[in-house]
Structure 1
Amino acid sequence: MLAYCQAQDVLFAETLSRLNLQALELPPRRTGRLRANVWRNHNFETFEGLLRPFLVYAGLDLECRVSEYDDTLGFAQWAPADVEILWVDSSRYTDRMTLEDWLAWLRGRLQDLRSRSSAPILLASWDPWGARDGAPGLAALTDAVPGAYVADLSAASIDEGIVLLDPRVAKVSGSPISRPAQVALARRLGCHWLPGLLLPPIKAVAVDLDNTLHAGVLGEDGPDGVRLDVGHVALQESLRALKERGVFLALISRNEREDVEALFAHRADYPLRWEDFSVIEVSWGSKADALGRVARQLRIALDAVLFVDDNPGELASVAAGCPGIHALFADSTGAGTYRALKYFPGLCRLSVSADDARRVEDMKANAERDTLLRAAGGEEQYFRELGIALTLRYDQVADISRLADLCRKTNQFNLALRRYNQADLASLMVRDDACVAAVSLSDRLSDSGTIAALVAVREGDMLTVTELCLSCRALGRRLEDMIVISAIRGMRLFDGCAQILFDYASGPRNQPARRWLDGLPDRLGAKVAGDGGEMPAESLRQFSAPSGVELMQE
């Protein structure tokens, strides 16, 4: 833990040092070896060396198989990989193509690679012709290619405040990317783009208060005495931006609760407000215990939480008491914490959907739902008072991105853990023997968006549910049976089938899904075969949906 805290000064420095990066040694914390195919027409090896320390910090053990230089992107000697990277010097095409021709050609290359590989595709390049109003851009390339994403190196360089290209470097290194851009883009690739494709996302950031969100100690300095430096303001603003993108915020502080409430009520200069936190834990107890309560209240696993604190000993204690949790050391000025948070692996979303953005507000409504449930005379009254509506959709391309996110991000209610990606789902949608279902949920308190993904395959009279994912935001509303059974009964493949089989794979956190499956036969009055995953289709046909829930199909 201490080595990783110390590494922040090198990895998240305002100005990166090539020498410091190359000298950095971190004990590996691997998630299992992964492979990347790198298809390139300019130098990648120099860049790969700079990438390594960021990947180690992220917990990625990535073997890069780098192709020969190839302007045609022919994908010679392709072999399966966990991610496909197109490392393209676009300036090599300007003398023979227009921007429109190049984009059309590159789209064809992406589609050809997609026909070979179901892995995520990352196109890392830039527009050498210069952006023009109304002209298609790099981002438009991936619209017709499921599971493909763009790393716009020019936009990233502008954000970093550095020059992307230096023709003098190309003569020596075999790439026109400038030396400052090489290290900055290595950080982007190792902290943002690759973790965004390969790692489970961080869903919540839990922050300490004293000497983290401000300088000083509230209990000693009082609300007026604690100080906001420029770095603290930037840090708080970045945390609010994360909340707007659907990341939960939690406050973990050893203080008197009334003092903390007074601070947020009194200090109008704080960008963060009391109501921005989905969970607030203020006490003199163990922070590890408090973080456990945070995770349970948010219905997420501890390894989806990032804890930020200014005390290395506290970070070590939390790491020991909360296995899998992510930790970040906060510096006294806030500036270093702001930069570290900006780049921390797992926080970057390659795309943010409306479902992501509504997550925080939807979870806040759970307290009112719990109150309604306790006061209601029964489930049906509870459903009627909430005004619950379920919408079923089948094999709709527009759902692919959200369903892939559910397959990748959902851990607690994920039966088979197959982690279907966009390419997998697109392929399944066009098969006659398969069906992909999306279920949306809303009530009078909030619109939860798409909360369930189901994939089923028919063989003979057997319908096998190969993937079933239910978002944590939908759990606890007494709707699990209704969601799953309604989605299955609405499938065209359900007609005439005799048996239903639920595939299941045991994982470290999907016991809630297993418990649901184990209890389903009793709730349906069904006789089961084997370990309980197979049951008569007739038991689903006879399921009586509770009144008070509106069911629609698009």
Structure 2
Amino acid sequence: MTIENSMQHFDAQEILFAEHLSRLDLLKLDLSKEHGKKIVVNIWRTHGFEPLIPLMKPFFDFQGWHVDFNISGYDDTLMFEGRKDASLDIVWLDSIRALGQVDFREWVNWLAERIMNLRKRSSAPIILATWIEGVEQVKRLQALVDAVPGVYFANLLELQDEISGPFIDIRSEKLAGTPLGRVAQLEIARKLACHWMPAALSSSIKAVILDLDNTLHSGVLGEDGVDGVKLMPGHLAFQKYIKSLGEKGIFLALVSKNELADVKELFEKRDDYPLRLEDFSAVEVSWAPKSDAIKRVAKTLRIAPDAMLFVDDNPGELANVISGVTQIHTLYAHEDAFLTSRAVHNYPALWRWRLEEDDAKRILDLKANAERELLSENISDPSEYFRGLKVGLIYRYDPLEQLTRITDLCNKTNQFNLAIQRFNQVEIAERLKSKAASIATVQLTDRLSDSGVIAIIVASKKNTQLVVEELCISCRAMGRRLEDTIVLQALKGMSIIDGCTEVIFKVSHGPRNQPALDWLADLLSLAEGPPEGEVHLPISLVNVFKPIDGVKIEQGIMK
């Protein structure tokens, strides 16, 4: 995105992330059309969806999406006739209409059958969107979608507290074909465009990088001093919200043009600040360009810029970062910190459908890296290093309970991703159940932290060939000299390896997967990197492989 277009988007934040959305302002908003992603969505509906489309469009433009909708006729039977290929299917149901005809239990049983029918027709993500009030009924619908891979439940009623007008308005049904009130339509449109759809379709943002002055507080530290900068109510709320993101496994980083000693003193003395300096996984305080500082943050966190969101109150600093750091996400920190908090909260791809146990582990794991690196510098013998850290690798095969984590690694891993297949939940679930396929997950532990599942290997058997369709290792495990053991021991433990005479690695050349290509070249002693397509490995190299000395190996249950 150009700097000019970015500035236009910053100006639009007051409209897009207003506490109370204005229909007129949204419809008048005309953002530059730099669409980097084309999305096709099928809508299967029992009430009107059309009123939401123009309300969602400014949010799509803000994130660079061009979205085409295929809208079905009104169909209470949900036959899904004439389904077209799409990125996403949304089942858009009027629960009042449905429950006026049958009781809840009968409706849910019927709905479960219909969702499964749609699932069989497509591997695209599915969002079931309706409104249900009773706690037990909500749990029942949530259980329904949890039982089917790649299906999510959007309970529109969760937004009721954020809506200043009636949630249901019968007058709206007569005019627009939906009982959803006009004000409710605004909030639902924002939620769909900023949370529900991106969470189903996009890789999530892993880090929020924050400026300090006039972003986390009001005032300039170097001029106003530690006691002079003000924590206004909006800044207090913003800091609390940012801290909650860290507790959910989102990396926090601080990038500020200040004196480091002043910043340390600020966080030591200001007890009214919810954020502490140790909440930040990376701290860059200097007078150097912020674009350079953010590149160092990316290296420290071991993530790409397209997984980072930078928030700053200075348009000049934002322009420097946009021009110097490709694909980074940016937001303008408004004088009204409540507005900034809403902008971050609603920023696409930051919200997630569910939190996984491994999400919270990544921050603790990064903090332990400093001690690991120190130990590595002082111990030259790898086996002594591994024994000293008590490194362990736990292998599990076809674990359906890890479906979400496996899919996340397929879609989030960029550097050590050999084939870049980007399998979705449905495609992974099919392989987990197939007798001709196997998926290995590898969990990494040591005495400093449990890194969680850091690698997945997706393979299938074709005659006498073991085909590695996907191989992903998290950046958290890279550089620990474990890659050979992670991969070859996982292949060795697969039941489908019996009778195979060779291993075939599927290989793609992506913009950032050079570490994976280098690993395969070293494994096969190739003078040049592996070509795209298929690379062959004799099965004998897997059969005779022995894990690196000093690492405890634990083999899980095989299918």
TM-score range (shorter-chain normalised) is: over 0.9
Deviation (angstroms), 1:546: 1.3
| Residue 70 (1) aligns with residue 72 (2) | no
Matched, 1:175 2:178: yes
CA distance in 2, matches of 1:162, 1:225: 41
**2:346 pairs with 1:343:** yes
Alignment of 1:274-289 (within 5 A): 274-289=277-292
CA separation in 1, counterparts of 2:243 and 2:34?
29
For 1:423-502, what aligned pairs fall within 5 Å after superposition?
Answer: 423-502=426-505
User: For 1:243, which of 232, 242, 246 is the aligned residue?
Assistant: 246
Larger deviation: 114-123 or 155-164?
155-164
Closer, same or farther: CA 419–337 of 1 in aligned 2, 3 Å:
same
* Counterpart for residue 121 of structure 1: 126
Q: Secondary structure, in 3 states, of the residue corresponding to 1:313?
A: helix
Secondary structure of the residue aligned to 2:507 is coil
- The correspondence for 1:386, drawn from 381, 385, 389, is 389
Does the residue aligned with 1:223 lie in a helix, a strand or coil?
A: coil
In the other structure, the counterpart of 2:215 is 212
Contact 1:529–1:535 (CA under 8 A) maintained in structure 2: no
Could you say what secondary structure the match of 1:372 adopts?
helix
1:112: which partner in 2?
117
Q: 1:420-460 deviations in whole A, cap 9, x for unaligned?
A: 11111111122222111111111111111111111111112
Q: Bigger CA drift: 88-97 or 183-192?
A: 88-97
Larger deviation, residues 322-331 vs 362-371: 362-371
Q: 1:497 and 1:529 mapped to 2: Cα distance?
A: 23
Residue 84 (1) aligns with residue 89 (2): yes
- C-alpha contact 2:145 2:153 (8 A) present in aligned 1: yes
Q: 1:531 Cα shift?
A: 7.9
User: Which residue of 14, 22, 25 maps to 2:27?
Assistant: 22
Cross-structure match for 1:229: 232
CA distance in 2, matches of 1:159, 1:509: 41
From 535, 547, 557, the equivalent of 1:545 is: 547
Deviation at residue 137 of structure 1 after TM alignment: 3.3
In 1: Cα distance, 2:531 partner to 2:168 partner: 64
Percent identity between matched residues is 47
Q: Report the residue type matching 1:543 in the other structure.
A: F
- Alpha-carbon distance between aligned partners in 2 of 1:262 and 1:435, rounded to the nearest angstrom: 54
Aligned match of 1:401 in 404, 413, 435?
404
- Choose 136-145 or 267-276, whichever is displaced more: 136-145
Cα pair 2:507 2:531 within 8 Å, conserved: no
* Alpha-carbon distance in structure 1 between the residues aligned to 2:531 and 2:323: 42
The answer to whether the Cα contact below 8 Å between 1:107 and 1:141 also exists between their aligned partners in 2 is: yes
Q: Deviations over 1:109-161 (max 9, x none)?
A: 1111111110111111111xx31458743212212101100111001233556
> Residues 549 and 285 from structure 1, CA distance in 2 versus in 1: closer, same or farther, beyond 3 angstroms?
same
- The gaps in structure 2 that reach 5 residues or longer are 1-5
Mapping of residues 27-66 of structure 1, within 5 Å: 27-66=32-71
Residues 472-516 of structure 1: CA deviation (Å, up to 9, x unaligned): 111121111111111111111112211111111122221221121
SS for the counterpart of 1:365 is: helix
Shift of 1:73: 0.9
Distance 1:530 1:236, change over 3 A: closer
Query: Per-residue deviation at 1:469?
Result: 1.1
1:298 partner amino acid: L
Matches within 5 A, 1:524-535: 533-535=535-537
Segment drifting more, 48-57 vs 255-264:
48-57
Q: CA RMSD of the aligned region, Å? A: 1.8
Distance 2:36 2:437 in 1: 31
**Structure 1 Cα separation of the partners of residues 451 and 17 of structure 2:** 35
More deviation, 140-149/261-270: 140-149
Instruction: Provide the rounded CA distance (Å) in 2 between the counterparts of 1:270 and 1:406.
Output: 35
| Structure 1 position 98 matched with structure 2 position 103 | yes
Q: Deviations over 1:188-215 (max 9, x none)?
A: 0111111111122111111000000000
Gaps spanning 5+ residues in structure 1: where? none
Give the corresponding residue for 1:184: 187
How high is the TM-score relative to the length of structure 2? 0.95
Please state whether the residue corresponding to 1:106 is helix, strand or coil.
Answer: helix
Match of 2:438, SS? strand
Residues 518, 532 of structure 1: 8 Å contact kept = no
3-state DSSP class of the match of 1:281?
Answer: strand
Residue 166 of structure 1 deviates from its aligned partner by 1.3
Could you say what secondary structure the match of 1:50 adopts? helix
After TM superposition, the structure 1 = structure 2 runs for residues 123-138 of structure 1, keeping only pairs within 5 Å, are: 123-127=128-132, 130-132=133-135, 136-138=139-141
For 2:140 and 2:63, how far apart are their aligned partners in 1?
Answer: 30
Q: Which SS does the other structure have where 1:86 is aligned?
A: strand
Separation in 1, partners of 2:72, 2:336: 44
The yes-or-no answer on 1:11 pairing with 2:6 is: no
Q: Matched residues in 2 for 1:265 and 1:310: separation?
A: 24
Structure 1 CA distance for aligned equivalents of residues 271 and 492 of structure 2: 53
Paired residues in the alignment total 550
**Separation in 1 of the partners of 2:165 and 2:459?**
49
| One-letter amino acid matched to 1:275 | E
Q: Indicate if the aligned counterparts of 1:365 and 1:445 stay in contact, CA closer than 8 A.
A: yes
Secondary structure in structure 1 of the residue aligned to 2:489: helix
Q: TM-score, normalised by structure 1?
A: 0.96
Contact 2:164 2:183 in 1 (8 A): no
Q: Using the alignment, how far apart are the partners of 2:10 and 2:533 within structure 1?
A: 46
Cα distance in 1 between the residues matched to 2:117 and 2:259: 61
Q: Distance in 1 between matches of 2:38 and 2:425?
A: 22
Distance apart, 1:343 and its partner CA: 0.2
1:325-383 CA distance string (max 9 Å, x none) = 00000012311111101100110011111111211111111111111111113111111
C-alpha displacement of 1:31: 2.7
Q: Deviation of residue 223 (structure 1)?
A: 0.5
Go from structure 1 to structure 2 and tell me whether the alpha carbon gap of 1:499 and 1:337 turns closer, same or farther (over 3 Å shift). same
1:141 and 2:124 correspond? no
Counterpart in 2 of 1:155?
158
The secondary structure found in structure 2 opposite 1:474 is: coil
Q: Distance in 2 between matches of 1:531 and 1:107?
A: 40
Q: Bigger shift: 24-33 or 215-224?
A: 24-33
